[in-house]
Amino acid sequence: MYCGIALCVAALAALAVAGPAAVRQERSALSFRWCVPQELVDDCGRLTAAAGVPIGCVGGIDRLDCLRKVQNREADYLMADPEDVYVASHFDNADFAVFAELRTAEEPTAQFRYEGIMLVRAADNFRSLADLRGKRSCHTGFGRNVGYKIPVTRLQRAGVLKLPQGDGTLSPVERELAGLSELFSASCLPGSYSSDGGFDRLLKERYGNLCQRCAQPDRCAKDDRYAGYEGAIRCLVENGGDVAFSKTINVRKYFGLPVTSGGVPAGPAVNPTARPEDFVYLCEDGTTRPIAGGDGQPVCSWAQRPWQVLLGNGDLSGARLQELQSVGQQLHRYWTAPEQESDRATAQRLWIDRNAPLVARNETLAPRDYLARANYAEVIEREGRYGNVLRLCVVSEPERQKCELMRQAAYSRDIRPALSCVLKTHEACVAAVRDGTDADVVVLRTPNAQLEPLLWETFGDVMVAIADKTISRERLQTGPVALDLADERAVAAFGQLATRLPSLKSVDASAPEAAGAPIRIANSNALPQGEAADQKVLVCDDFTFQPLANVAMCHLRSNDERGPAAAVYVRRQVDEAVKDSVVHAFTALSDTFGHGQAREQVFRLFGPFRLRSGEQQLDLIFHHYAVALSAAKRS
């Protein structure tokens, strides 16, 4: 028996009226309910129906909303990253169980997705982790697990990596970079140290030795020749490094060894001239082990990344759990069979992939216990849970609820400083940030002269007025304004200017006289680019000018009622280090959970939010139609 998507929707709608007894009865009819992001519900229903499995599909706003639905018994399970499992472990009254894992075709029996290792030269005769001091290090990339998070975590624990103490001006990110810069004489730590370009450049200038061993030190980018798992090994073997932080499977592939000891060879060595006997794994106790595994000893991995999992609620047990594991395997086999090519991409969006076999666990594990096996919570919390925080002031209980979930999502995804949520009235929030007492940051939708704005919302599609950079205000006010008179949004935008200056005339953009118009109304997606952009400015509704980059603060309200952008405000007297931390954290939030970003399905920074009561609300903290946050500043 299975539930097609239309039938599921109708059945669930009926349940909302029928009450708990009907929920229990219908639950049996549906057998199992899989929660997926709302935009994947139809695809999910089609795939489960075609496979003939008794799985209904439930839509959540995002993956963390699905966690709530599973916890509240509105769904039975979801597919989750280890970071989502971490969030689940901190839910109030957490009641979850990991019951299956998505592994890889190369390592279907491995306990972990990958194991972080330190690779060194055998001839260097390491005797302890302290011998790493002054060495040249090779990392997969900034912020990555085996090349950054795990080394930072474990080397701190061993007392080898010492972060600056007592300097409150350094952000958590900069403290880690400062510690690594002091420990190693030279490194290749490629990637963006901050989502904000200016802060990224500042950090790379300040800690220049962290890019010194990269192929292109001036760029130190994530696509460097010595970036990534293989790149870090290449940096050690081919570029004079002393230690590489990578993972075991890539070491074995680089040297042409079997992927698993005693197993099928990985294929030709990436570097046929490199000899595996010249390199060893460095263990946390200072001993070393051969990479070929000839002595029968296991690899000395110092931390692991868990697999992606199927995460259910605590009601799944016994025969019911076994049935779900069985139908899950049936669904996976159906859509990974060679003949099922037509919907392969759709299946992959739902994490059904022939290269990621589904492996049922014999015993379920609670989220905390699952992460503890890999020391993964320690990796996420490496600087001490919420040791350095930004206090975000919110003005309503619904905003507080969104802030709390946003805080957890951000922390699990390594966005630092960590956030904390403070609930006050609008006026009290402004006062608290202004005085630096109970809050550091507030998001406001109207300008406030008492505070300093650092970032603004950006909108994907708004109407703007454009003029030549050399234009005078006198010429501006004589008009006319050129626009597409058939475009209702453009006409409404012109109306906003005409409200300020009733004598202003309009002309259709296609008319001959439009060529001499000092102002042109256009869609923000059609702004000039390159050199042409340097010669233009935006005209705001008060007839002031802004650079083209400042669309968020200088656009015209059209008939879709998109008002001025909300902004992230801080105290005016706050020091530059705190400003950098705020810009870094909120830019990272936007780049991680903003519209169109890869992890928007984890948590939607913009858009609807579901309260604990089940009600959905818009425009909490940020406008629902915003797409990103930008640090572009007013001229």
What are the DSSP calls for 9-26, one per residue? HHHHHHHHHH-HHHHHHH
Query: Domain tally for the chain?
Result: 4
Q: What is the pLDDT of residues 391-400, one digit of tens each?
A: 999 999 999 9
Q: How confident is the model at residue 93 (pLDDT cuts 50, 70, 90)?
A: confident
- CATH number of the CATH domain containing 269: 3.40.190.10
Average pLDDT estimate for 463-472 = 91
Given a cut of 50, is residue 592 above it in pLDDT? yes
Instruction: Report the b/e string of 413-429 with b at 16+ CB within 10 A.
Output: bbbbbbbebbebebebb
Q: How confident is the model at residue 270 (pLDDT cuts 50, 70, 90)?
A: very high
Is residue 604 annotated as involved in ligand binding?
Answer: no
Regarding whether 285 and 173 lie in a shared domain, the answer is yes
Contact 56, 34 (CB under 8 A): yes
DSSP state of 166: S
**Amino acid 96: pLDDT:** 97
**Mean per-residue pLDDT over the chain, rounded:** 89
**Amino acid 296: pLDDT:** 55
CA distances from 457 to 130, 453, 494, 495, 631 (A): 46, 11, 22, 23, 9
Contact 609, 409 (CB under 8 A): no
Is residue 470 annotated as involved in ligand binding?
Answer: no
**Amino acid 9: pLDDT:** 34
Is residue 114 annotated as involved in ligand binding?
Answer: yes
Regarding whether 467 and 455 lie in a shared domain, the answer is no
Q: What is the pLDDT of residues 148-204, one digit of tens each?
A: 999 999 999 999 999 988 777 788 889 999 999 999 999 999 999 988 888 899 999
Regarding whether 167 and 182 lie in a shared domain, the answer is yes
The string of DSSP letters for 221-253 reads -TTSTT-HHHHHHHHHHHS--SEEEEEHHHHHH
Which residues, at least 6 apart from 419, have a Cβ–Cβ distance to it below 8 Å? 389, 390, 391, 392, 403, 406, 407, 410, 411, 585
Last residue of a domain, one of 316, 343, 378: 378
Domain encompassing residue 591: 387-460+567-630
Q: What is the pLDDT of residues 537-548, one digit of tens each?
A: 999 988 889 898
**Amino acid 81: pLDDT:** 98
Average pLDDT estimate for 583-594 = 95
- What is the rounded CA–CA span in Å between residue 558 and residue 556? 6
Regarding whether 86 and 219 lie in a shared domain, the answer is no
Helix count and strand count (H, E) for the chain = 20, 27
Q: Could you tell me whether strands 114-121 and 303-305 are parallel, antiparallel, or unpaired per DSSP bridges?
A: antiparallel
Sheet (strand 441-444) strand order: 418-423, 389-394, 441-444, 567-571, 451-459, 626-630
Is residue 495 annotated as involved in ligand binding?
Answer: no
Average pLDDT estimate for 307-327 = 96
- What is the rounded CA–CA span in Å between residue 569 and residue 433? 8
**Amino acid 29: pLDDT:** 52
| Listed range (275-289, 466-480, 516-530, 554-568) with the worst mean pLDDT | 554-568
pTM of the model: 0.81
**Amino acid 1: pLDDT:** 32
Q: Could you tell me whether strands 186-188 and 114-121 are parallel, antiparallel, or unpaired per DSSP bridges?
A: unpaired
Which residues, at least 6 apart from 267, have a Cβ–Cβ distance to it below 8 Å? 253, 256
Last residue of a domain, one of 255, 275, 304: 304
What percent of the chain stands above pLDDT 70? 91
| Listed range (113-122, 136-145, 291-300) with the worst mean pLDDT | 291-300
| CA nearest neighbour of 326 among 314, 310, 308, 303 | 310
**Amino acid 559: pLDDT:** 57
Long-range contacts: 170-175, Cβ < 8 Å, 24+? 170/577, 171/388, 171/416, 171/417, 171/577, 171/580, 171/581, 171/584, 172/383, 172/387, 172/388, 172/416, 172/417, 172/418, 173/203, 173/416, 173/584, 174/203, 174/206, 174/577, 175/383
Given a cut of 50, is residue 382 above it in pLDDT? yes
Regarding whether 219 and 120 lie in a shared domain, the answer is yes
Contact 239, 232 (CB under 8 A): no
Regarding whether 184 and 206 lie in a shared domain, the answer is yes
Given a cut of 60, is residue 322 above it in pLDDT? yes
Pick the most confident of 437-451, 502-516, 573-587.
437-451
Regarding whether 468 and 455 lie in a shared domain, the answer is no
Sort residue 73 into left (φ over 0), alpha (ψ -120 to 50) or beta: left
DSSP state of 258: B
DSSP state of 277: G
For residue 449, being part of any structural domain is answered with: yes
More confident residue, 8 or 125: 125
Regarding whether 270 and 181 lie in a shared domain, the answer is yes
Q: What is the pLDDT of residues 330-356, one digit of tens each?
A: 999 999 998 888 889 999 999 999 999
Sort residue 138 into left (φ over 0), alpha (ψ -120 to 50) or beta: beta
Is residue 148 annotated as involved in ligand binding?
Answer: no
Regarding whether 100 and 152 lie in a shared domain, the answer is no
Q: What is the dihedral of CA 85, 90, 92, 94, to 10 degrees?
A: 40
Regarding whether 144 and 251 lie in a shared domain, the answer is yes
CA distances from 270 to 69, 215, 254, 261 (A): 46, 18, 5, 18
**Amino acid 106: pLDDT:** 84
Contact 329, 336 (CB under 8 A): no
For residue 218, being part of any structural domain is answered with: yes
Regarding whether 146 and 122 lie in a shared domain, the answer is yes
| Listed range (223-237, 404-418, 457-471) with the worst mean pLDDT | 457-471
Last residue of a domain, one of 511, 529, 553: 553
Largest Cα span, the chain: 89
For residue 6, being part of any structural domain is answered with: no
Is residue 346 annotated as involved in ligand binding?
Answer: no
Regarding whether 289 and 180 lie in a shared domain, the answer is yes
**Amino acid 534: pLDDT:** 85
Given a cut of 70, is residue 303 above it in pLDDT? yes
Q: What is the pLDDT of residues 19-44, one digit of tens each?
A: 434 434 444 456 999 999 999 999 99
For residue 13, being part of any structural domain is answered with: no
Given a cut of 80, is residue 442 above it in pLDDT? yes
Q: What is the pLDDT of residues 546-571, one digit of tens each?
A: 898 888 778 887 655 566 789 999 99
**Amino acid 8: pLDDT:** 39
Given a cut of 60, is residue 79 above it in pLDDT? yes
